[in-house]
Amino acid sequence: MFRFFLKQKIEDPQNIVIADKEIIHKLTKVLRKKVGDTFFIFDSQAEEYEVEIIEINSKQVACKSLSRSFVDRELSVAINLYQALLKKDKFELVLQKAAEIGVKTINPLLTEFCVAEKLSENKISRCHKIIEEATLQSGGKIPPDFIVLSDFKEAIQSLPAQDLSLIAYENEDKNSLKEIIDKTQARTINIFIGPEGGFSSEEINLALRNSVAPVSLGKRILRAETAAVVACGIIAQKN
């Protein structure tokens, strides 16, 4: 059964009007839905509805709720992923997998060794689409927030003191991410992942001065996009 995400809160479950052009296109042109057909939607409050179509045309789809549920598929910890910009395909892979895992926010960063350019409006729109589609595919209900691009220093210096903040560093040989996650009582975890060239020594020193601990992801040096998925996957296992 197909599922769609509505950005707004559903106020009246018996009178749901969908005006989103992309959803309308999929329902009318791709799925060929008609009056009486059913599908699933979920809103910004993570409530899921099975709905029946009562009116459908090229401008709007009107539905009524047949059932309503709240299934908690979200993580027990909030993961804020701070990902340095990567080349297009690699960055989009990180977006997709992070959304599937269930991170809370994805924060693109400009760092010293970034080779990717700043995000254009079209790229930002595509990022949102990838995140929403990955959330739907994985059975999630709340897509990660995609935060406005910031530079590394700004991000490091704006972290809440009560959070656990970590930075993946290939030269770290003492602090294992898994061991730290197993021991911590923090419920919000910020993880920084570098670009293809990694973080500079100046950036690591800045992180240390701001109580952001370097961590190892294992014995091997991982590609940037692999490191993001591995790190988020380890943190997601926290009970």
The tens digit of pLDDT for each residue in 171-181 reads 998 899 999 99
The helix/strand/coil state of 171 is: coil
Spatial CA neighbour of 61 closest among 85, 41, 84, 87:
41
pLDDT at 141 over 80: no
What is the rounded CA–CA span in Å between residue 39 and residue 76? 28
> Edge-to-edge strands of the sheet including 16-18?
3-5, 38-42, 48-56, 61-69, 16-18
Q: Kindly report which listed range (46-60, 82-96, 193-207) carries the lowest average pLDDT score.
A: 46-60
Q: What is the pLDDT of residue 154?
A: 94
CB 187 within 8 A of CB 234: no
- Smallest CA-to-CA distance from 56 within 30, 22, 32, 85 is with 32
Residue corresponding to tokens 């809370």: 104
Average pLDDT over every residue of 80-96: 95
CA gap 57, 132 in Å, rounded:
24
Sketch the domain layout of the chain as residue ranges: 3-69, 78-236
Query: What are the backbone angles phi and psi of residue 68, rounded to the nearest 5°?
Result: -140, 135
Nearby residues of 89 by Cβ (< 8 Å), 6 or more positions away = none
Give the domain 3-69 fold.
Ribosomal Protein L25; Chain P (2.40.240)
**78-236 — its CATH code?**
3.40.1280.10
Q: Is 1 a residue whose pLDDT tops 70? A: no
Q: What is the pLDDT of residues 63-79, one digit of tens each?
A: 999 998 876 667 889 99
185-238 confidence digits (pLDDT tens): 999 999 999 999 999 999 999 999 999 999 999 989 999 999 999 999 999 998
Segment 86-90 shows an average pLDDT of 92
> What is the phi-psi region of residue 192: left when phi exceeds 0, alpha when psi lies from -120 to 50, beta otherwise?
beta
DSSP state of 136: H
- Would you say residue 116 has pLDDT above 90? no
Buried b / exposed e over 9-46, threshold 16 CB at 10 Å, is ebeebeebebebeebbeebeeeeebeeeeebbbbbeee
pLDDT, position 8: 74
Residue 150 pLDDT > 90, yes or no? no
β 164-168/213-215 pair status: parallel
Report the phi/psi class of residue 161: left, alpha or beta, with left for phi > 0 and alpha for psi in -120 to 50: alpha
- What's the pLDDT score for residue 71? 65
User: At residue 195, what are phi and psi to the nearest 5 degrees?
Assistant: -80, -170
pLDDT of 214 reads 97
Write down the pLDDT at residue 93: 97
CA distance 225 to 83: 9
Query: What pLDDT shows up at residue 3?
Result: 82
User: 0.75 exceeded by the pTM?
Assistant: yes
